[in-house]
C-alpha cells in the first residue's frame, strides 16, 4: 500500500540501537515515529514483523507487555497508547485529566487519573497500580508542561518551579518508585521524553529547557546505576511537534 515501516524517525531509532546499551539520547521526530507505526493495522504489523530483520522484530515484540504511560491524553500520549495497543501490549494510561475525557480508539487499556505534581497522589496511584498488576515492563514518562515563557526576570517564580516539579521531579519520583519494583520482577525499561533545550539554549523558555536538560542527565545517571539490574533507561527527544503544549 505504499507504506514503509522505516520512517525517518524509526530509522534513527534502529540506526542507534545496540543491544546492551543502557542510554541513548535520540533526536527522533515523534511525529514521524507515530505516523510510521500507528497508521498500520494489527494485521499489517503482523505481516511487517514477519518480513523484516530480527532487530526490528525485537523492537516490535511487545505482545502482552505492560506499558505505563503518563500524559496519555495529549497528542503524543494518545499516539503512544494507540501504537502499543496495536502491538498487542497492555497499556496503563495515566493523565491529569478525568477518565471521561479519554479518547483512545482501542478499549483494551486501563486508566488512572494522575497528577505527577502531587506526591501524595503519585504514591496512592502507584500503590493501586502495583496492587493490580504483577509486573509493569515499561514506564514512559511523557507528561510535561511548557510553563513560564519570556525572559527569566519576568517569569513568575511559582510557575517556574511548577515546570521543574512536573517535568523533572515527577519523572524522578516515578523512576525512584519503579526501579526496586522492576528489579524484584526480573527487570524492565524506563523511557523519559526529553525535549527543547536539552541539547542547547532555548531563550524565553528557561524553565522548560532546564527541566528537560536535567531530565537527560538524570536518565544518564540512572542508567549507570541500574545497568546490573536488568533495567534499561533511555531518553528520547521527539523534536518539534504541533501539540497543545
What is the set of active-site residues? 208
Q: Is 51 left (phi over 0), alpha (psi -120 to 50) or beta?
A: alpha
Q: For 192-217, give the DSSP string.
A: EE--TTSSS--TT-HHHHHHHHHHHH
Question: Helix H segments across the chain?
Answer: 8-16, 30-38, 42-51, 54-60, 75-86, 119-132, 157-164, 170-184, 206-226
Dist. CA 187–CA 92, nearest whole Å: 18
Amino acid at each position: 500500500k505504499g507504506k514503509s515501516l522505516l520512517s525517518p524517525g524509526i530509522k534513527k531509532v534502529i540506526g542507534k540501537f545496540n543491544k546492551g546499551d543502557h542510554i541513548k539520547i535520540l533526536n527522533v521526530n515523534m511525529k514521524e515515529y507515530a505516523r510510521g507505526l500507528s497508521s498500520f493495522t494489527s494485521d499489517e504489523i503482523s505481516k511487517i514483523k514477519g518480513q523484516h530483520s530480527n532487530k526490528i522484530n525485537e523492537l516490535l515484540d511487545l505482545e502482552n507487555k505492560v506499558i505505563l504511560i503518563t500524559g496519555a491524553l495529549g497528542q503524543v500520549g494518545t499516539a503512544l497508547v494507540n501504537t502499543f495497543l496495536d502491538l498487542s501490549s497492555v497499556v496503563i494510561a495515566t493523565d491529569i485529566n478525568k477518565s471521561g475525557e479519554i479518547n483512545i480508539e482501542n478499549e483494551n487499556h486501563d486508566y488512572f487519573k494522575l497528577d505527577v505534581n502531587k506526591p501524595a497522589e503519585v504514591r496512592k496511584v502507584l500503590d493501586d497500580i502495583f496492587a493490580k498488576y504483577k509486573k509493569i515492563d515499561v514506564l514512559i514518562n511523557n507528561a510535561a508542561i511548557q510553563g513560564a515563557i519570556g525572559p527569566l526576570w519576568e517569569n513568575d517564580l511559582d510557575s517556574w518551579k511548577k515546570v521543574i516539579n512536573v517535568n523533572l521531579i515527577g519523572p524522578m519520583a516515578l523512576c525512584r518508585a519503579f526501579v526496586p519494583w522492576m528489579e524484584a520482577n526480573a527487570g524492565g525499561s524506563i523511557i523519559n521524553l526529553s525535549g527543547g533545550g536539552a541539547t542547547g539554549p532555548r531563550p524565553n523558555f528557561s524553565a522548560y529547557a532546564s527541566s528537560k536538560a536535567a531530565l537527560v542527565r538524570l536518565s544518564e545517571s540512572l542508567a549507570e546505576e541500574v545497568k546490573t539490574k536488568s533495567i534499561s533507561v533511555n531518553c528520547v527527544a521527539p523534536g518539534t511537534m504541533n501539540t497543545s503544549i
